[in-house]
């Protein structure tokens, strides 16, 4: 039975709406009582591998795993055989003999799929070029704290519509029943296959998706404004103008004043102050970014517990 039913978390839609709600409820519980779950006692191990830089993801996973009673093996992927000739499938197969889950920040989404194909433990996407689903769990937890029910909220993302955050907010947002608008300059719209998957998911939850290149229309009545860097890791030398066309999409006081009066502002961080967001907004009363960063810890602990409890149930483990 092992292998057949491993639940991975490679994209936001790997959790059904019900499953996502379970993880978010557990995240809220763990925020109140951080040591309530000792799922990794033993200690059981979790591999946490980075092929790109990280501050929040690294600290929150390592501390979260410790709080669950486990041990995190945190490594720079470039120092492992991942950087050499071993296949990702073989790597997944071997790591599964040592640890109970693998958390991986890498480049192409395909790499995650390949490791998952060989793994017999859950693989968690800690950011890929295409998706950042752990971040969106924290974003949803933050929105739930500020707004109560997620279903029916209107969230507007402004900036690079084709990056990991835009894609994950689309997929994860509509999974939660949120109406998601992505406002991006021409040429930076979300990729078609993501829009298709999000549309299918939105049909299940009753949510809507709006794509536009008009930032002012996009924010009207929004309960949440979200942005992210205009230049994601790995895009520094892609030859595209990632400043000029993006300027009208900056979250500043003027644009924020056009959203709902009590709109909250989210940013996964790191922020490029003065580019995608102004100091005034980031440090202002409507910003929830510091709680959002904290919630990475709680949301990811909940995700790990949930994934391992699924697996335990499948295998008849305690
Ligand atoms: N938001 C986020 O993932 O931050 P890090 O790159 O610092 O992990
Ligand atoms: N879109 C950004 C997110 C960083 C957490 C990047 O990929 O660099």
Q: CB of 57 closer than 6 A to ligand 1?
A: yes
Q: CB of 269 closer than 6 A to ligand 1?
A: yes
Summary mean pLDDT of the chain: 96
Residue 283 in this model has a pLDDT that exceeds 70: yes
Q: What's the whole-number mean pLDDT along residues 57-81?
A: 96
Check residue 155 and give left, alpha or beta (phi > 0: left; psi -120 to 50: alpha). beta
Q: What's the whole-number mean pLDDT along residues 268-280?
A: 98
Residue 219 has phi, psi (to 5 degrees) of: -90, -10
Query: How far is residue 11's CA from residue 26's CA, in Å, rounded to a whole number?
Result: 19
In a shared domain, residues 259 and 302: no
- 107 Cα: distance to centroid of ligand 1 (angstroms): 14
In a shared domain, residues 212 and 181: yes
Query: Is 65 among the domain residues?
Result: yes
Q: Supply the residues annotated as catalytic.
A: 105, 132, 135, 228, 268, 296
In a shared domain, residues 150 and 64: no
More confident call, 283 vs 3: 283
| pLDDT recorded at residue 314 | 61
| pLDDT recorded at residue 2 | 42
Name which of 60-64, 81-85, 226-230 the model is least confident about.
Answer: 81-85
In a shared domain, residues 104 and 197: no
Q: Which of 167, 268, 275 to mutate to test the pocket of ligand 2 (most atoms within 8 A of CB)?
A: 268
Residue 10 in this model has a pLDDT that exceeds 50: yes
Query: Is 317 among the domain residues?
Result: no
The residues that bridge with 262 in the sheet, in sequence order, are: none
In a shared domain, residues 151 and 263: yes
Q: CB of 229 closer than 6 A to ligand 2?
A: yes
| pLDDT recorded at residue 318 | 46
In a shared domain, residues 256 and 303: no
Q: What's the whole-number mean pLDDT along residues 28-36?
A: 98
Query: Is 4 among the domain residues?
Result: no
| pLDDT recorded at residue 3 | 45
Query: How far is residue 260's CA from residue 282's CA, in Å, rounded to a whole number?
Result: 17
- 121 Cα: distance to centroid of ligand 1 (angstroms): 24
In a shared domain, residues 108 and 191: no
Give the domain range for residue 223.
134-293
Spatial CA neighbour of 154 closest among 217, 195, 208: 208
Is the dihedral angle over the CA atoms 318, 115, 175, 220 positive or is it negative?
positive
Give the model confidence (pLDDT) of 74-105 as tens digits.
999 988 888 778 899 999 999 999 999 999 99
In a shared domain, residues 69 and 139: no
- List the binding residues for L-ornithine: 164, 228, 232-233
In a shared domain, residues 216 and 242: yes
The answer to whether 230 and 192 have CB atoms below 8 angstroms apart is: no
Q: What's the whole-number mean pLDDT along residues 147-164?
A: 98
Q: Tell me how many degrees the CA angle 269-274-277 measures, rounded to the nearest 5.
A: 50
In a shared domain, residues 116 and 162: no
Query: How far is residue 308's CA from residue 314's CA, in Å, rounded to a whole number?
Result: 10
Query: Is 2 among the domain residues?
Result: no
Q: CB of 49 closer than 6 A to ligand 1?
A: no
| pLDDT recorded at residue 85 | 80
Cis peptide before 18 (omega within 30 of 0): no
Query: How far is residue 159's CA from residue 8's CA, in Å, rounded to a whole number?
Result: 29
Helix (H, G, I), strand (E, B) or coil at 69: coil
| pLDDT recorded at residue 315 | 62
> How many structural domains comprise the chain?
2
Give the model confidence (pLDDT) of 105-151 as tens digits.
999 999 999 999 999 999 999 999 999 999 999 999 999 999 999 99
In a shared domain, residues 162 and 265: yes
Q: Which of 270, 277, 290 to mutate to test the pocket of ligand 1 (most atoms within 8 A of CB)?
A: 270
The answer to whether 80 and 104 have CB atoms below 8 angstroms apart is: no
Q: CB of 135 closer than 6 A to ligand 1?
A: yes
Query: Is 59 among the domain residues?
Result: yes
In a shared domain, residues 67 and 105: yes
Is the dihedral angle over the CA atoms 85, 124, 57, 100 positive or is it negative?
negative
Q: What's the whole-number mean pLDDT along residues 17-36?
A: 98
Q: What CATH number is given to the structural domain containing 88? A: 3.40.50.1370
Query: Is 46 among the domain residues?
Result: yes
| Ligand of minimum distance to the alpha carbon of 134 | 1
Q: Please report how the helices 289-315 and 133-147 are oriented relative to each other, as an axis angle in degrees rounded to 10.
A: 120
The protein residue with its alpha carbon nearest to ligand 1, atom 1, reads: 268
Give the model confidence (pLDDT) of 238-264 as tens digits.
999 999 999 999 999 999 999 999 999
The protein residue with its alpha carbon nearest to ligand 1, atom 7, reads: 55
Query: Is 156 among the domain residues?
Result: yes
Query: How far is residue 16's CA from residue 22's CA, in Å, rounded to a whole number?
Result: 10
Q: What's the whole-number mean pLDDT along residues 272-277?
A: 98
| pLDDT recorded at residue 316 | 53
């Amino acid at each position: 039975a092992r292998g057949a039913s491993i639940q991975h978390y490679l994209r936001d839609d790997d959790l059904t709406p019900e499953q996502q709600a379970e993880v978010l409820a557990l995240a809220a519980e763990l925020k109140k009582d951080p040591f309530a779950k000792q799922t990794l006692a033993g200690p059981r191990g979790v591999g946490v591998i980075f092929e790109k830089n990280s501050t929040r993801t690294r600290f929150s996973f390592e501390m979260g795993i410790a709080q669950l009673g486990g041990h995190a093996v945190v490594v720079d992927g470039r120092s492992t055989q991942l950087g050499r000739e071993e296949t990702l499938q073989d790597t997944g197969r071997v790591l599964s003999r040592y640890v109970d889950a693998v958390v991986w920040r890498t480049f192409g989404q395909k790499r995650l799929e390949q490791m998952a194909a060989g793994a017999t433990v859950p693989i968690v996407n800690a950011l890929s070029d295409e998706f950042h689903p752990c971040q969106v769990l924290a974003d949803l937890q933050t929105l739930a704290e500020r707004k109560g029910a997620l279903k029916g909220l209107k969230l507007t993302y402004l900036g690079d519509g084709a990056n990991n955050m835009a894609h994950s907010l689309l997929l994860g947002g509509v999974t939660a029943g949120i109406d998601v608008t992505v406002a991006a300059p021409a040429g930076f719209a979300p990729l078609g296959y993501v829009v298709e998957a999000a549309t299918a998911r939105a049909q299940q939850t009753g949510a809507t998706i709006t794509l536009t290149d008009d930032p002012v229309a996009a924010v009207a009545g929004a309960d949440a404004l979200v942005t992210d860097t205009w230049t994601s890791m790995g895009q520094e030398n892609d030859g595209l103008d990632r400043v000029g066309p993006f300027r009208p999409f900056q979250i500043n006081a003027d644009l924020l004043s056009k959203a709902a009066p009590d709109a909250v502002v989210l940013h996964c961080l790191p922020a490029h102050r003065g580019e995608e967001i102004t100091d005034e907004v980031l440090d202002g009363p409507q910003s929830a970014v510091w709680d959002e960063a904290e919630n990475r810890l709680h949301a990811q602990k909940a995700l790990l517990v949930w994934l391992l409890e699924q697996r335990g149930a499948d295998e008849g483990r305690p």
